[in-house]
Structure 1
Amino acid sequence: MDNNNRNKPTGTGLVAHWPLDEGSGRTAMDVVSGQADEISYALLDARFTEAIDPGWRFGMNGGSLLFDGYSTWITRKAGASPRLGEAFTVSAWVAPRSYEWGAEQRLSAIVNQHDREAREGFIFGIYRHGSWSLQLGLGGEWHELWCHDRPLAKQKWSHVAATFDKDQAGMKLFLNGEQVAELATPANTAMTPCASDLLIGKNNQAAVLAEAFRHNMFDGLMDEVRIYDRALSTAEIAAYYEAELLPHEGDIPAIAEADIRLDRAPLLKDRHRPQYHASPPVHWMNEPHAPIYFNGKYHLFYQHNPQGPYWAQIHWGHWVSEDMVHWRDLPIALAPEKGAVDPDGAWSGSAAYDENGIPALFFTAGDDSASPNQRVGLARSSFLEDGDSDLVRWKKHQEPLIVQEKGQGMFGDFRDPFVWKEGELWYLLIGSGTDGQGGTALAYTSGNMIDWEYKGPFYVADPDAYPYLGNMWELPVLLPLGKDGAGEEKHVFLISPLGPGADVEVFYWIGAFDCDAFRFVPDHDEPQLIDVGDFHFTGPSGMVDPRTGRNIVFTIAQGERTPQLDYDSGWAHNAGLPVQLLLREDGRLGVEPIEELKSLRGELLCSLRDKTLAEANGLLANVQGDMLEIQVEFAAGAEAGTGTVTDTSRMGLKVRRSPASEEETFLYYDPHSSEFGVDRLKATSAPEERIGGVQSGKLELRGEALRLRVYLDRSMVEAYANGLKSLTTRVYPGRLDALGLQLYGDEDQRIKSLDIWEMKSIYW
């Protein structure tokens, strides 16, 4: 069938046909009526980047339309919609990119014009794990025809068709020209019409998530959408399917990876989206986790919703890198699967080496049909079978490794396994609580990575003394720090609190790890913070880098924006920069950005030594940027010219500053109060952004001069003070000229050194 012929109405009863061959633009032409229907898409009128058309791609014949999973759909107004009642056929070529969970038991619509509660109209769409259905209202009743045993494959073309016929009193489903399901309907009963708009790709009654976000959206490619006002026969549908394959020598063509992947290119110019922090191509992420080094490459995974920039449909995204700085996107590593251990979500976990030295993933397997619904799952790399050096393919163990039993922690809260191997044993920590005694990590050991023995709580803090630790701990991490000054082996134990009254930050203790008893004995009862930025440095994961022996920690940098802004932007959250944790000579925990970040330095924009504050600011007047590395050391005491701390007290750096300081973000240190903080009261003039206030924490320099290492990456601000504390925060300036810098301090303050580099993107 050539392109000219297929764009004409073919066969009696064809009342609408969207070939989706436009290749560009904001409308889809129905070649039967000649009407151009509006396409919705979040970036049509982009607020923070260049406006672009929806994703037009190659299709089964000619072009196709890529539906992004949350903001793309086609609208045919109700008054112009085909009138259907006694019989109809709906058909399309579809290639789902992901499956929704099925909020409120509603379908991700292919085509629909319905009101389920009023029992009117019809919906044809996809459900959990690729099952699909035709549903419609007949005589005041709602009828559903399902195909569960022939799910629609991800990222592959399938031809689907659905028919209803009052005279034949039945509904039918067809997959690739073959009837796969049938349901009898009441005799001589027509479909009850619905007055809603006819939508392609969006459910008329989509479940509301937050503000603009709706569930029940189609995600993937769609082509050749047709509606007939009669029920095509089995022979007609088969003949049509075969005719569509003639240009492809009788086979369904493969889809080019570039045509269906999540593509970061449309968001690269977003003025708030970080460019040298790891991020998913688009949509939503939460904590990066399961770092592991294998075959010369670092792998890092992350919690991901491929369907949109909101929390739901949890998968494992995947990056690979040779230096932990320049990350390359890989296909999704783990997705919820029917019949597997994780039908309702693949949640956070870790990676470890198996008995053959090959990476294995330990994850929180979500299964809402079980109690508890959180279990430990295992997936093994296929490297030994097929040499998959990028670790793209994973095979899940059929049964959960650990199912929580009553008496083992807080029943029902059991997630985020952290696994490592020492000697002949694998050790596992998992986040939980201790009914009435606060949070904990539960300890398990195994001699074969499959069978695990419970060893009890790893460590329990005093919930009365530290109520901000909540009643449950997530994301436990244990890393070796080496020997202290007294020759004692030390470890650092990281957790993220959750529950009533919890301060959701990364807290840590330094102490001794009793390997035999599998217990942690802290040197200090009070938990400490790595970062003082208040909820922007969270979700810890960690590894001992086999190449260098360093302790590397990865985190999520929360976005802090409203759901509407996330919707308009198409992305939510990114990873923080990788940091190294070490035990300092003074016994305190050191935190530093990894040295590999120097590879991102571009032009040296400013370099000065031993200047007054005024002189330094004069040289800074022409330095601007939102992708910078800044290193500054303030002279202290006698070096500052005063010999004492002055009344002005605060010293620091203003970033993302507009020329007259209408907008600015102030990073400061107050030696009087030993306070390291950020003042964001003037960070943005945009009323829709919800950042603001002061975030700070304790930093004792003990006579050291203040040294700041600051990374600006569009909305990201990360500051590291003297290798002791970090401060991670977000800013979304409303002004395009908020790009300046200014040092702050007493008028006698001297600047010992200042170096500023332009930073390069890891994606351009």
Structure 2
Amino acid sequence: MIYKGIYHLFYQYNPKGADWGNIVWAHSTSVDLVNWTPQTPAIYPTQHAGDINGCWSGSTTILLGGRPAILYTGIDRQNRQVQNLAVPKNLSDPLLLKWVKLTKNPLMAPTIENNINTSSFRDPTTAWQGPDGTWRVIIGSKINRRGLAILYRSKDFVNWILSEHPLHFAEGTGMWECPDFFPVSRQGGLDTSVVGMGIKHVLKLSLDDTKHDYYTIGTYAVDEDIYIPDKGSVDNDTGLRYDYGKFYASKTFYDNDKKRRILWGWINESLPQPEYVKQGWSGLQAIPRSIWLDKSGKQLIQWPISEIETLRVNQVNLPNKGLKGGSMLEISSITASQADVEISFEGFEFNKAEVMDPSWTNPQLLCSRKDSSVKGGLGPFGLQVLASKDLKEYTAVFFRIFKGQNKFVVLMCSDQSRSSLNQHPDKTTYGAFVEVDPVREKLSLRSLIDHSIVESFGGEGKVCITARVYPTLAVGTGAHLYAFNHGNGSVKISSLSAWGMKKAQIN
């Protein structure tokens, strides 16, 4: 959230180690969303009835008069998941260092009467206010395999009444963690309570079964308090995702200073538990992203916040350049282990595109079968990042273009199969189809590279893929960066800009 010009990030944290357990609500502050200062934890277990066995996830809401409030899940002495409220002790403190829990906690709890699963009732969203002035919040849950967004209402933010029906549910999806529900438009960010003409709503769900975040775009029927996904918006794990790589338990907030909605996501480790515990830390936040509705109205666009560009140094530009099949081009004069790269491709030899097999419906499987070493007709072409000089290690982020029945199909892949000589990391290859017409549009790729993280944005933010890799050779000055084309057809680099990145202040 933002309060008195200061950004606040609250996050699940174990102060006693790099593994799960002893979770508190850690608290960091920033004035630019890039450089962060750790503060004392905001919430930790103290209340027998509310959170004595753990403080889990939740959300902040800005109440009338600009007053922040936190709703969060606690584990009570009966090991039930319940919802609690905490408010700042001193509203005049812009750092909000001290938080006070309501003695009335918990405010929402599972009972025999309300038929809520005591172990599947968690992660309240940012609340929104309806036109009737009543507050609403949803909480993730499940009944058997049916995922639920349980709805509560309150006039005073303290006394909450369970709705007779959920805001939304979907069969066969399992537990819905960290739900998020907010309005979007093509113009940019909207306050969470805004409704009206030309406004769509997004329901994002984190699936406990697959550890994927997926979302639908639809209509919020205010009078009935139900959410209806648009026709064609797939309401399960095969639908749209914020990110097709390592990215989970995400949350957005409305930045009312800059009128934008910002998305945070958690990047977990790809190493086995003993190895990441040995390194002394695990998990990190992705670069914050601005999100808005695509002009098609059918998906979201995501882009790194503009503030991240303040870290850029030593810009390298490359004018138009052809890239024949089988060729590579090193992008030098920047620190390749910590870089920001933007590249656009055009001038495709479409007559060399492979025919799209109708059975190729799973993009991740297609990317693993046709990884960056498999020569195609039009592609693979893109970037090899965190590459060693001898190319024994590299992570490839690339495109392929196929000839479909009545249009060309663009596939974006992130290939980690050769990312590290270390045999222990998960080296899953990720992929997604990009809704871009390569006949009429340039095909763009931006990758943010940070030692062991590669966040890539394809088609100007239509597809995002985050990779978590652990190179052993491509570290520090041993890391190299290449543009490549391993297909038969030639492509043209229409523009390329790359920067080294200064180190941000982090916790």
Give the TM-score normalised by the residue count of structure 1.
0.57
In structure 2, give the amino acid aligned to 1:708.
Answer: L
Distance 2:338 2:331 in 1: 15
Aligned to 2:182: 479
Indicate whether 1:311 and 2:17 are aligned: no
- Residue pair 2:410, 2:433 contacting (<8 A) in 1 also: yes
Q: Secondary structure at the match of 2:258?
A: coil
Aligned to 1:589: 300
- The 5-angstrom pairing of residues 43-192 of structure 1 reads none
List gaps (5 residues or longer) in structure 1.
1-291, 464-468
Q: Secondary structure at the match of 2:39?
A: strand
In structure 1, give the amino acid aligned to 2:338.
Answer: M
In structure 2, give the amino acid aligned to 1:510.
Answer: I
Distance 1:678 1:380 in 2: 42
Aligned to 1:758: 500
- The 5-angstrom pairing of residues 189-204 of structure 1 reads none
Distance 2:309 2:225 in 1: 39
Aligned to 1:415: 122
In structure 1, give the amino acid aligned to 2:337.
Answer: D
Deviation of residue 370 (structure 1)? 2.0
2:337 to 623, 626, 636: 626
- The 5-angstrom pairing of residues 321-720 of structure 1 reads 321-337=30-46, 339=48, 341-367=50-76, 369-370=77-78, 373-384=80-91, 387-398=92-103, 399-406=105-112, 407-422=114-129, 424-433=133-142, 435-436=143-144, 438-455=146-163, 456-463=165-172, 469=173, 471-482=174-185, 488-498=198-208, 502-523=209-230, 524-527=232-235, 528-534=239-245, 536-587=246-297, 588-604=299-315, 606-613=316-323, 617-618=328-329, 620-621=331-332, 623-635=334-346, 639-640=347-348, 645=353, 647-672=377-402, 674-687=410-423, 689-703=424-438, 704-720=441-457
- Residue pair 2:168, 2:228 contacting (<8 A) in 1 also: yes
| Structure with bigger RCO (C-alpha 8 Å, 6+ apart) | 2
Indicate whether 1:741 and 2:481 are aligned: yes
- Residue pair 2:458, 2:464 contacting (<8 A) in 1 also: yes
What's the CA shift string for 1:276-322, capped at 9, x where partnerless? xxxxxxxxxxxxxxxx1111111110000000000001100111111
Aligned to 1:721: 458
Q: Secondary structure at the match of 1:599?
A: helix
- Residue pair 1:707, 1:721 contacting (<8 A) in 2 also: yes
Distance 1:404 1:366 in 2: 12
Distance 2:242 2:253 in 1: 19
- Residue pair 2:339, 2:499 contacting (<8 A) in 1 also: yes
- Residue pair 1:664, 1:738 contacting (<8 A) in 2 also: no
Fraction of identical pairs, as percent? 27
- Residue pair 1:310, 1:572 contacting (<8 A) in 2 also: yes
List gaps (5 residues or longer) in structure 2.
188-195, 355-376, 403-408
Deviation of residue 517 (structure 1)? 2.0
Q: Secondary structure at the match of 1:457?
A: coil
Deviation of residue 461 (structure 1)? 1.8
Q: Secondary structure at the match of 2:27?
A: strand
Distance 1:340 1:459 in 2: 29
Q: Relative to structure 2, which stretch is displaced further, 619-628 or 608-617?
A: 608-617
Distance 2:108 2:492 in 1: 59
Distance 1:676 1:760 in 2: 28
- Residue pair 1:532, 1:695 contacting (<8 A) in 2 also: no
Distance 1:366 1:710 in 2: 40
What's the CA shift string for 1:540-585, capped at 9, x where partnerless? 1111211122221111001121222222211101001111221111
- Residue pair 1:358, 1:383 contacting (<8 A) in 2 also: no
What's the CA shift string for 1:150-207, capped at 9, x where partnerless? xxxxxxxxxxxxxxxxxxxxxxxxxxxxxxxxxxxxxxxxxxxxxxxxxxxxxxxxxx
- Residue pair 1:415, 1:474 contacting (<8 A) in 2 also: yes
Q: Relative to structure 2, which stretch is displaced further, 404-413 or 537-546?
A: 404-413
Deviation of residue 518 (structure 1)? 1.7
Deviation of residue 410 (structure 1)? 3.4
Distance 1:532 1:395 in 2: 35
Deviation of residue 343 (structure 1)? 0.8
Distance 1:574 1:408 in 2: 36
Distance 2:349 2:431 in 1: 27
In structure 1, give the amino acid aligned to 2:203.
Answer: F
Distance 1:550 1:667 in 2: 28
- Across the aligned residues of Structure 1 and Structure 2, the Cα RMSD in angstroms comes to 2.3
Deviation of residue 619 (structure 1)? 5.4
Q: Secondary structure at the match of 2:66?
A: coil
Q: Secondary structure at the match of 2:127?
A: strand
Deviation of residue 763 (structure 1)? 1.8
Deviation of residue 354 (structure 1)? 3.3
Deviation of residue 356 (structure 1)? 4.1
Deviation of residue 533 (structure 1)? 3.4
Distance 2:294 2:63 in 1: 33
Aligned to 2:370: none
Distance 1:621 1:642 in 2: 30
- Residue pair 1:409, 1:457 contacting (<8 A) in 2 also: no
In structure 1, give the amino acid aligned to 2:503.
Answer: S
- CA distance change for structure 1 residues 382 and 645 in 2, over 3 Å: closer, same or farther? same
Q: How many residue pairs end up in the alignment?
A: 452
Deviation of residue 338 (structure 1)? 5.1
In structure 1, give the amino acid aligned to 2:426.
Answer: I
Distance 1:494 1:660 in 2: 42
Deviation of residue 408 (structure 1)? 4.4
Distance 2:416 2:300 in 1: 27
Deviation of residue 623 (structure 1)? 4.6
- Residue pair 2:336, 2:385 contacting (<8 A) in 1 also: no
Distance 1:374 1:315 in 2: 15
Distance 1:370 1:339 in 2: 9
Q: Secondary structure at the match of 2:308?
A: helix
Distance 1:472 1:350 in 2: 18
Deviation of residue 446 (structure 1)? 0.5
- CA distance change for structure 1 residues 576 and 618 in 2, over 3 Å: closer, same or farther? closer
Indicate whether 1:730 and 2:433 are aligned: no
Distance 1:650 1:531 in 2: 23
Distance 2:417 2:145 in 1: 38
